[in-house]
Amino acid sequence: MARILVTSALPYINGVKHLGNLVGSQLPADVYARYMRGRGHEVMFICATDEHGTPAELAAAKAGEPVADYCARMWQVQKDLADGFRLSFDHFGRSSSARNHRLTQHMAGRLADAGLIEEVSERQVYSIDDGRFLPDRYIEGTCPNCGYPRARGDQCENCTKQLDPTDLIEPRSAISGSTNLEVRETKHLYLRQSLLRDRLREWIDSKTDWPVLTTSIAHKWLDDGEGLQDRGITRDLDWGIPVKRGNVIWPGMADKVFYVWFDAPIEYIAATAEWADANGLDDEAWERWWREDLGAEDVRYVEFMGKDNVPFHTLSFPATILGANYDGAEPWKLVDYIKSFNYLNYDGGKFSTSQGRGIFMDQALDIFPSDYWRWWLMSNVPEGSDANFTWDSFQGGVNKDLADVLGNFVSRVTKFARSRFGETIPAGGDYGPEEATVVAELARRLAAYEAAMEAIELRKAAQELRGLWVTGNEYLQSAAPWAAFKTDPDRAAAITRFAFNLIRLYAVLSRPFLPDTSEKMLAALFNPDASWPGTLAETLGTLAGGHPFTVPDVLFAKVEDARREELEARFAGA
């Protein structure tokens, strides 16, 4: 049994996330975590809300709430939506937690002891009308790299280039829209990433199994221009983690907080400590996941994120981890594998909250059950390139994959069995050559499914899972128990019993993608053993004659054309 640590990129606290956010980190991480649990491994699956920085302050101001109250309310909203999509986090934390305050301040102190923190006087944009400095997302403008007109002061979301506010063309205040700006001098703490460039390069180059998307982005940041630059880790904000060493304010930093992109990844560790606290466990319980001198040396750590988060997770956060262990006293766990994703677009364009364009997580759950969304998103997950959501594609995924293949198989088997044999699985007859052929095909497909899941090739895994369902449908159509019943009831009984074992198999294999549907299928079989299949021949004999069953309600209702057209119009945007 392996020990696997899974983290999903932290969603910002500022509002409900859209389906592109969901499929870019949290949902694929959940599918992988569920699969690994199903295989018997010990899994720790961690996520949290990212609550500091300008997004929180701006959103709270817009909502007319104190920022702490706003974050507490939105944490609950995001937690409820995660539950609605059946995201199986072991803990869903908050970057504003006391644990993260202490750990972030501790890490900064360790970095300072290592000579990796420098106080830098810098020129920063100051808004005369707002009476304050405008750090990162408090300032917007045109990206000097790609010309995107709504680039933020820390990063352009269009080309992912890391920026400073003073880089922007035609800058304006994100608070008031004012262009009455000037540049003033202020002091901040910088993480001297450049001193770790060679160590980071060596570490990244050792990850020969990482996706090309991940390593290409990391190398671009290492090599473009002057290479990896030192990075400010403090900001002129009120809401955030105070810049302290222990309980003492860092000299000259009384009115500043740590930069959100410094403290947010540290929350992965802090959230695991929060999990231990919530379960009444001591520090040893979480340290065994994160400290290689305390048990984490045998942990495989896998991160899931959108491609815009890759630079911080391949460079800045590892720099923090490496620097904090400058003397070998704190060997924190570095990530073993980063699974990064491209973007999900909506009908050829971007999701837009302001324009009402696209589907957000709360809206999605109001329209269809979570498994409908989980299936379409994972069978179209944007791994190799950007993906595009259309209602026509969604309708096809639900109708052709879920309703016509998996749902149809379960319905035909259970309804036929009830009409001919009552509500217990029939005994009689033996499996023959036809079943042996199916077992061989299932074994081939199962091996491909497992290989894809192990490699975190999730779109391929979804295709292989569908292929397993198709194999059962083709068998049922060929074996035709309804015809065999007329001349050879024992043969019909054997076919039906085999088909019931396929339902159980599909329930187990589908659980990572379709957890609610899996539970319904197992409930219809009165919850037999749901362990992962070992030898298929044995697995497909699990349900014996006489085992009770019920006919479940329709697992998947088809999306009719009129409904699709209605939804296309509703979410087209202004």
What's the domain count of the chain? 1
What is the C-alpha to C-alpha distance for residues 502 and 496, in angstroms, rounded to an integer? 10
Q: Residue 131 above 70 pLDDT?
A: yes
SS3 for 424? strand
Amino acid at 260: V
Residue 9 belongs to some domain of the structure: no
Strand partners, 348: none
The mean pLDDT of 215-226, rounded to a whole number, is: 85
Q: What is the reported pLDDT for 226?
A: 65
Identify the band that residue 105 occupies on the pLDDT scale cut at 50, 70 and 90.
very high
DSSP notation for 383-417? SSS-EEE-HHHHHHIIIIIIIIIIIHHHHHHHHHH
Q: Residue 315 above 80 pLDDT?
A: yes
Q: Residue 354 above 70 pLDDT?
A: no
Q: Look over the chain and give the mean of its residue pLDDT values, rounded to a whole number.
A: 94
- Residues of the chain with pLDDT > 70, as a percent, come to 99
Q: Residue 16 above 80 pLDDT?
A: yes
The mean pLDDT of 167-193, rounded to a whole number, is: 92
Give residue-wise pLDDT tens across range 447-505. Answer: 999 999 999 999 999 999 999 999 999 999 999 999 999 999 999 999 999 999 999 99
What is the C-alpha to C-alpha distance for residues 256 and 376, in angstroms, rounded to an integer? 44
Q: Has 47 been labeled as part of a binding site?
A: no
Strand partners, 280: none
Question: Distance between terminal CA atoms of the chain?
Answer: 52
Residue 155 belongs to some domain of the structure: no
Residue 460 belongs to some domain of the structure: yes
185 or 48: whose pLDDT is higher? 48
What is the C-alpha to C-alpha distance for residues 257 and 207, in angstroms, rounded to an integer? 34
Residue 405 belongs to some domain of the structure: yes
C-beta separation of 232 from 192 below 8 A: no
Q: Residue 237 above 90 pLDDT?
A: no
292 or 132: whose pLDDT is higher? 292
Please enumerate in sequence order all residues whose Cβ is within 8 A of that of 302, keeping only pairs 6 or more positions apart, or say none: 4, 5, 6, 7, 29, 32, 335, 336, 337, 338, 339, 456
Q: What is the reported pLDDT for 418?
A: 98
Amino acid at 138: Y
Residue 450 belongs to some domain of the structure: yes
Q: Residue 75 above 70 pLDDT?
A: yes
Amino acid at 567: L
Q: What is the reported pLDDT for 58?
A: 83
Q: Residue 137 above 80 pLDDT?
A: no
Relative to beta strand 132-133, strand 117-127 is antiparallel
Q: Give residue 405's domain range.
A: 390-539
Amino acid at 167: D
Q: Residue 208 above 80 pLDDT?
A: yes
Indicate if the alpha-carbon torsion angle 312, 317, 318, 323 is positive or negative. Answer: positive
What is each CA distance from 10 to 152, 213, 425, 548, in whole angstroms? 19, 20, 47, 44
- Residue 518 maps to which CATH number? 1.10.730.10
What is the C-alpha to C-alpha distance for residues 81 and 75, in angstroms, rounded to an integer? 10
Q: Residue 374 above 80 pLDDT?
A: yes
What is each CA distance from 178 to 62, 140, 186, 276, 399, in whole angstroms? 17, 10, 21, 46, 51
Residue 147 belongs to some domain of the structure: no
Helix axes 27-38, 370-379, angle to 10 degrees: 100
Residue 446 belongs to some domain of the structure: yes
Q: Residue 295 above 90 pLDDT?
A: yes
Residue 176 belongs to some domain of the structure: no
Number of H helices and E strands in the chain, helices first, is: 22, 18
Q: What is the reported pLDDT for 389?
A: 96
Q: What is the reported pLDDT for 509?
A: 98
Q: What is the reported pLDDT for 573?
A: 73
The mean pLDDT of 234-253, rounded to a whole number, is: 92
What is the C-alpha to C-alpha distance for residues 254 and 244, in angstroms, rounded to an integer? 9
Relative to beta strand 169-173, strand 139-142 is antiparallel
Q: What is the reported pLDDT for 301?
A: 98
Give residue-wise pLDDT tens across range 322-332. Answer: 999 999 999 99
Q: What is the reported pLDDT for 225?
A: 63
Q: What is the reported pLDDT for 166?
A: 82
C-beta separation of 27 from 512 below 8 A: no
Burial grade of 494 (CB within 10 A; 0-12, 13-18, 19 or more): buried
